[in-house]
Each structure stands twice: as structure tokens, then as C-alpha cells.
Amino acid sequence: MRRRASGCRRRRRTACTCPCKLQQDKQLTTIRFFGKILGTTKDYFVAEATYPAAEDEGEPPPAGAVPIEEKGSGCNMFVYYATNDPSGEWTELPMVTPEQLVASTMIRKLFTGDLNAPVRAYPPFPGKEKEYLRAQIARITSATVLCPKGKFSIGEDEPNKVQPTEEYVPLPPSAFLTPSSWCHYHMGILGIGRTTHPPKEEEEEADEDAPKKEVPVLEPEVAPLTPISADLWSLTASSHMGAGCTVHMARSLRWPGAYCAMVMKEDKSSNLYIGYGHEMLSSPYTMPPPPPVQSEPDDVIEQVDTPLKEENDALLVIKRKELAEAAAAEAEAAEE
């Protein structure tokens, strides 16, 4: 769920650089305040935006074993900007790669507030803190952005694209006390670090007798607009005195700090995250052990040297054969 930034109400003597000003400077289509990632030294304020129609591609991210999802799709559907001070400069975070997403699930590191800080962890993370921040934002977005049931539908031509429902009738407010009325807006992230499986390569024609390449079994794709789980969310409702409306809240138990608020009387909703950027674990985090120590290699057995007489005898046989062939060729030439 995204909304356009409204006019800035801050009054400062200096130029305003909050998300609305960021949208004007970068000519972004839409922008919203994603939330705040808490750090040990400084905090990150994060803005989520959509890529403009015409944009410089810049340097492509490093290629890996699993193809990266293109801009405007999957985990790279949005562009994210981060800053330590909303009145300061915003930095665009890089695109996230499948390797970074997979590595982020294996480590647990607090953020420092420095985008260029190294991520000292095991297993090693392929990037600095800005890449680690981007990977965690992708995981949070995929798991915590909610929408009301029935407001969006999946297109027929594009099964993974969400579009507004034409004849949408808002649900009654009382329905949002049940998990079935809340849906995930985005697709889930697979274990390979993508929301969808990579496109299959065209199979080249091969001999029928050639051994067939074994195709690994892939986990099913997690479709968007799936209902939330009652075990992972806490639902509450509160009435505002004088406002005449009820606000329904969904609080994520998996990602502490992720909230979704809905006012169905006005058909409005908003998603926000304020936390340390880590999911709740069922047990204390334990660093994975290093790989097992390799066993000692076998002793090298030296080859026994061939005696000199045997080497000379074998070479003598070859030379005699060459001389005999040369003599026979000369005799044939003399007879002609």
C-alpha cells in the first residue's frame, strides 16, 4: 500500500529535504515514509518510492549464480532512500541481489547508522551495511505490508501482478478482527533470494543417448494477496473520541515494529515499520559453526625412477625403427 507524499508542513529556515522534497528532486512517481531502522550509533529514516519512467541505469549490480530481479519487479520493485536526519541528504540504496538476501537470513547484526560500515559476521555478508540494510528492508516489506481483502486482485495475463479491483466494496469494520480479512500485498521471498523462479534456459538439442541433466526440485512460489496467519499477527481495534471512526491495527509478531492501520469508514490504510530490522526468533540466535576441518591428505608416493639402461634401450628401438624406414624410402627412390 503506497500513498503520495503530501505537501511538507515543516517550517525551516534551510531548504526542506524531507520525502516530499526528495520526490521533487528525484522526480519520483510515488513516495511514502517506510519507517525507521534503529542503530547503535545513529538511526536510519527510510523512504520507499517507485522508479521514474526514464531513469539512468547506472552501474549494474554484480552478477551471481541466481539472476537478479530487474528494477520495478520482485524484491527490486521499489527504490529506497535512507538518511540519518530527515532534514539532511538522502542516499539511494542499491538494488538487492539474491546472494545478499540469502546471506541476510543467516546472520544477525545490529545496524550502526553508517551505510559504508563493514558487516563483520559469519557467514560473511557480500556487501557493506547499505546492502545489508537493503536486504532487510526487502524482507520486511515482503512480510509486513498488508491490504484489505478484496481491494486488490491478481491480473489474468500477469499472475504475479496486483491491480485494484474495479467493483470493490469495503468490508465492514468488524470483519478486521479476523485474520482472513487481512492480506499480504507482496509476494513472499523464496529460499533462493527471489520472489519468482529464474526463467528457464532454452534447452539445446542433444543426443537421445546423452545423459539427462538432473533438475533440482524448487519450492512453490508464494503468491501475493494471501491471508495473514493468526499466529504471526496481533489484531486490535480502537475508537477515537469525536472522530466517529474505528482504527483497526495489525501488529506483526514475526517482525516487531511492523504495523498496519486501517480505517475502513474512509477506506484508508497505512503501513509503518519502526524497529531494529530483525525478525523474532523462536530460540536465541546461534552463529552457524564453521565448516568441518578437512582431513589430512594421503601421503604422496613418489614414482620409482626408470634405470638409465632401460630408458636408453627404449630410445634405441625407436631410433633404429626410424633409420630403417628412412633407408627403405631411399631404396625405393633409387629404384625409380
pLDDT, tens digit (0-9, with 9 covering 90-100), for 285-304: 888 888 888 888 888 888 88
Least confident of 97-101, 103-107, 115-119, 330-334: 330-334
Q: What percent of the chain clears pLDDT 90, i.e. is strictly above it?
A: 46
Rounded distance, CA 330 to CA 336, Å? 10
**If you average pLDDT over residues 95-107, what whole number do you get?**
95
90 lies in some domain: yes
Q: What predicted TM-score, i.e. pTM, was given to this entire model?
A: 0.77
**CA 18, 128, 98, 188 torsion: positive or negative?**
negative
SS3 content of the chain, % helix, strand, coil (to 5): 20, 20, 60
Cα three-residue angle 285-232-255, rounded to 5 degrees: 50
Q: What percent of the chain clears pLDDT 70, i.e. is strictly above it?
A: 84
310 lies in some domain: no
pLDDT of residue 240: 65
Residues whose CB is less than 8 angstroms from the CB of residue 145 and which lie 6 or more positions away in sequence, other chains included? 1, 184, 185, 186, 260, 271
**If you average pLDDT over residues 56-75, what whole number do you get?**
78
210 pLDDT more than 90:
no
Q: 140: which 3 cell numbers?
A: 520486511
Parallel/antiparallel/unpaired status of strands 31-37 and 268-275: parallel
Q: 26: which 3 cell numbers?
A: 528525484
316 lies in some domain: no
13 pLDDT more than 50:
no
**CA 191, 101, 270, 248 torsion: positive or negative?**
positive
Cα three-residue angle 75-251-186, rounded to 5 degrees: 20
DSSP label at 293?
A: P
pLDDT of residue 138: 97
**If you average pLDDT over residues 157-166, what whole number do you get?**
80
**If you average pLDDT over residues 9-25, what whole number do you get?**
59
Q: Measuring CA to CA, how many Å separate 19 from each of 28, 30, 87, 331? A: 10, 10, 9, 98
How does residue 5 score in pLDDT terms, banded at 50, 70 and 90?
Answer: very low
Least confident of 77-86, 108-117, 221-230: 221-230
137 pLDDT more than 70:
yes
Residues whose CB is less than 8 angstroms from the CB of residue 235 and which lie 6 or more positions away in sequence, other chains included? 176, 177, 178, 179, 182, 248, 249, 250, 251
297 lies in some domain: no
Mean pLDDT over each residue of the chain, to the nearest integer: 84
243 lies in some domain: yes
* Helices and strands (H, E) in the chain, number of each type: 4, 12
Rounded distance, CA 250 to CA 272, Å? 11
As for how many domains the chain has, the answer is 1
Residues whose CB is less than 8 angstroms from the CB of residue 27 and which lie 6 or more positions away in sequence, other chains included? 52
Q: Measuring CA to CA, how many Å separate 53 from each of 50, 71, 184? A: 9, 11, 26
How does residue 9 score in pLDDT terms, banded at 50, 70 and 90?
Answer: very low
Cis peptide before 148 (omega within 30 of 0): no
Q: How many Cα atoms are found within 13 Å in the side-chain-facing hemisphere of 213?
A: 8
How does residue 7 score in pLDDT terms, banded at 50, 70 and 90?
Answer: very low
258 lies in some domain: yes
Q: Beta strands of 24-151 (E only): which ranges? A: 31-37, 44-49, 79-83, 91-92, 146-148
Domain that holds residue 121: 19-53+63-198+219-275
pLDDT of residue 305: 83
212 lies in some domain: no
161 lies in some domain: yes
Residues whose CB is less than 8 angstroms from the CB of residue 33 and which lie 6 or more positions away in sequence, other chains included? 5, 19, 45, 46, 47, 48, 272
Least confident of 70-84, 109-123, 126-140, 297-311: 297-311
